[in-house]
Structure 1
Amino acid sequence: MNRRKTRLTDARRLALTDADIAHLRIAIESSVRDDHPALPPAYWRRRLNRLLRDENLLTTQMQQIVELLDRLGPARDADGA
């Protein structure tokens, strides 16, 4: 694979990760405000933790994910997380 194609792939992956983080931020904020959210905090934690396993995250992306995990509050056993 040539170097230029790899860079484009990396840029695309980073953009998709940014879009996923933005989506999760909106969904989590809505979920936190709702008394009866459609999806439990454990679901959002799993999604965020899956993103954290990406070894190619930028520092800012990692910080945003950690902030969202903090926003969800501590995991509870009832969450399954």
Structure 2
Amino acid sequence: MERTLTTLTGSSHAALVDQDVAHIGRVMRPSLQGDLGGPILPVTYWRKRLYHLLDTGNLSHAQLCAVDSLLLQLDQFETEPPPVWIAPAAATAAPFQPLQVAAGRRI
């Protein structure tokens, strides 16, 4: 089977960049906040992805603004102190008591 090189037209490239920027915008913050184990993906990963988009060239003004906004969010995330996790509150309610079954019916 012979492989052919696929080239993107300007509009296809712009659509792919738009999709990538939108995806990064949706998942970057939750990924950085992570869980008790820390970030799922670090700031360096997201910065690399965004710089790669900038290096592809031919970004529209709106795309450049969106990437710049995401880079500013990364800067802000790095300057903020990490969240302090609060230990779960002690249970104040009585322990669960199972229902008693008498003669095949619940009481």
TM class by shorter chain equals: 0.7 to 0.9
Task: Name structure 2 gaps, 5 residues minimum.
Answer: 1-6, 79-107
CA contact (8 A) 2:32 2:42 kept: no
Question: Which residue in 1 is equivalent to 2:95?
Answer: none
Give 1:54 deviation, angstroms.
Answer: 2.2
TM-score of the two chains, using structure 1 as the length reference:
0.74
User: Taking every aligned residue pair, what percent have the same amino acid on both sides?
Assistant: 39
Indicate the larger mover: 33-42 or 53-62.
Answer: 33-42
Post-superposition offset of 1:16: 0.5
Decide which of 67, 72, 75 is 1:73's aligned counterpart: 75
| Residue of structure 1 in register with 2:49 after alignment | 47
**Higher relative helix content:** 1
Q: Distance in 2 between matches of 1:67 and 1:24?
A: 11
Structure with bigger gyration radius: 2
**Root mean square deviation, CA, Å:** 2.0
Could you state the TM-score of these two structures normalised by the residue count of structure 2?
A: 0.57
State the one-letter code of the partner of 1:67: S
Q: Distance in 1 between matches of 2:26 and 2:39?
A: 13
The question of whether the paired residues in 2 share the 8 Å contact of 1:31 and 1:39 is answered with yes
Mark the runs of 5 or more structure 1 residues left unpaired by the alignment: 1-5, 76-81
Residue 22 of structure 1 deviates from its aligned partner by: 0.6
Indicate the structure whose relative CO is greater, using CA pairs within 8 Å and at least 6 residues apart: 1
Range 33-42 or range 47-56, more displaced:
33-42
Q: What are the within-5 Å matches in structure 2 for residues 10-21 of structure 1? A: 10-21=10-21
Q: Tell me whether 1:33 sits opposite 2:37 in the alignment.
A: no
Secondary structure at the counterpart of residue 39 of structure 1: coil
